[in-house]
Chain A
Amino acid sequence: QLHLQESGPGLVKPSEALSLTCTVSGGSISSSDYFWGWIRQPPGKGPEWIGSVYYSGATFYKPSLTSRLTISVDTSKNQFSLRLTSVTAADTAIYYCVREYKGSSLADPWGQGTLVTVSS
Chain B
Amino acid sequence: QSALTQPPSVSGSPGQSVTISCTGTSSDVGGYNYVSWYQQFPGKAPKLMIYDVNKRPSGVPDSFSGSKSGNTASLTISGLQAEDEADYYCCSFAGTFYVFGTGTKVTVL
Contacts and interface: CB of A to CB of B under 8 A. Distances in A.
A105 B52 contact: yes
B48 A108 contact: yes
Contacts of B46: 41, 47, 96, 110
A107 interface: yes
Size class of the B contact interface (CB-based, 8 Å): 20 to 34
Interface string A28-47: 00000000000001000011
Interface in B84-100: 89, 91-93, 96-100
A49 B36 contact: no
Nearest to A104: B52
B45 A110 contact: yes
B44 to A, nearest CB: 9
B3 A106 contact: no
B45 A49 contact: no
Interface of A: 41, 46-49, 51, 60-64, 96, 104-108, 110-113
Given A49-B91, A49-B97, A49-B99, 13 more contacts: A47-B46, A60-B97, A62-B1, A63-B1, A96-B46, A104-B52, A105-B35, A105-B51, A105-B92, A106-B51, A106-B57, A107-B48, A112-B45
